[in-house]
Structure 1
């Protein structure tokens, strides 16, 4: 979920560096809720003068006589925090709170195409940040803490416009049987381990990982190197899943469990299936097309009795 600072930008007064401090004084008196005035040169921000700093300096010994008729450039702060209006709330908040104590509560200046666009107060920024964090938290899967369906949908909706992408639909085969034999607590640990594996690998590719629910996951990378990432996921998962079985089941390579008809049968150990859909082989007009391709490929994967991946390259030939 990305909210840009341009969504909460506020109007601000701006003046040129040669504006007399007497005029600044009048602007603050006429606009009692204004915390700071932005100094611009050619409509590019070069400084800021805050109400507190302005009157502290004017109120110092000889300050009024020394500064009141002189330009604001003598009093302005040149150390300002500027962001393009498309910057995310989260990024802006982190950098704003990393400032020194003297600038911590100064307004953040927002630009658009390098031109002054407006400001954001720290109060407004932090309130919006808290709201975003709350919404994100409510969208996370409680077991893995990964983004859930609402955030996943936002990422998928944006894919058709991406220059390069590969989306991996991932699920675990024979996981229900594992739960039946070993119990839900150990089943949850398998899900959490799978989430950790996917996160660790996707991080290397600046990818996104979401938890659709149950034993279904999604990974999005903005690249076409899916062979490498799929091989890595399968290798690490197959090594890891062996630690979740007792030696007897590992040696056999299966567990005995009842099928839906109540008949005992040999069920293979848990494996991982990956359906890879990439715009390397086909341009997609909509997110629905991507999902439809993934659904077809996923069925092909599930028919293979071991960990595997299949891409939409086969469907596009």
Structure 2
């Protein structure tokens, strides 16, 4: 077998093995999972998530997901816990311990100490009959038949299963809390994700020029306005109302169809009923409207002043902001 074939075969086998194991997790969900999620939902404290080895790495990701979706969570490494980090656990907190075997030495030392605090103990483990499984108040079954590792040793399928269980918990809690896009934006203010959730059209139009002409403006005046404002478009305004739009594409088509345009005005070449968007709309909604209509600019209106012309949002603005 050639090297390329070996690589592809190994990759496909890995994905297939893990996919089957993840699909089987649905069959392992039971009333105990429901009770555990309810316990977290009704808790007045935080969820302390702990583990050792690769399970500890998974624990950190679960903590990040929970925190970003409205459930306060803290990671506590199982090995560090017995050297002072047990102080992380407060009176109303819950503890979630993650371990494939549920029998690792660190877990066996840690669990009795946690029990001494009388905090509810939840477990994600692949062995409900393990030390952790027997000691936990709630057991979430993450059993997998085998690892994707050909030696059935390196944590691969098992850690993926743990992660999926963690995601299931987070999503259940998110829905119970009715965690909205606005809530999500509070926890994700930075980067392109944050901008998609909070950046509004007015934040963009305020950075741009505001091209406009009157319906009786000459074509020359229209061309100058479009060129000077550098947005490839101008609104046509009459009695403070938008009655049309002219793009650089309209200008090119007009020049193609008319050798002489001396007597033409903005009204003659404008497109009526242009696509409009509210200043208060999210920038990501502007992008959707632009893509759906296969255009590059939108005219924005201000609902607070009766839908008057407020400016232009250009596709290039959205690209520059990282929305696209």
The normalised TM-score by structure 2 is 0.35
* Larger strand fraction of residues: 1
The normalised TM-score by structure 1 is 0.36
